[in-house]
Amino acid sequence: MNLSLELTNEQSIRLNELAGELGVDPLDLARAAINDLLTKPDDDFDRAAQYVLKKNSELYRRLS
C-alpha cells in the first residue's frame, strides 16, 4: 500500500533531525513509528487484562 501524507515544516524538520540522531532514513523512522502505533495494545485491553489477572491471582497461584 502506498500512502502519501503532508507534514508541516516543523514536523519535517523534527523527523529529519530525529532520523539523523538515530542514523536511519526518515522514511524508515516514519514507518517504524506507524508500525509501533498499529501494534500497540489498546489501553482498555491492558486494563481489562490486569483486572482479570489481579482478580484471579489466587486461583492462578493454586493452579501452578
Indicate the domain borders of the chain.
Answer: 9-63
Sorting pLDDT into bands at 50, 70 and 90, what band is 6? very high
**What percent of the chain shows pLDDT beyond 90?**
52
HEC string of 24-56 equals CCHHHHHHHHHHHHHHCCCHHHHHHHHHHHHHC
| Mean pLDDT to the nearest integer, 10-37 | 94
**What percent of the chain shows pLDDT beyond 70?**
100
Q: What is the largest CA-CA distance in the chain?
A: 58
| Mean pLDDT to the nearest integer, 15-27 | 95
* Residue 31 in this model has a pLDDT that exceeds 80: yes
**Which pLDDT does position 16 carry in this prediction?**
97
Among residues 51, 33, 53, which one has the least CA distance to residue 43? 51
Residues 6+ apart with CB under 8 A from 60: 53
Q: CA-to-CA distance for 8 and 55, rounded, in angstroms?
A: 47
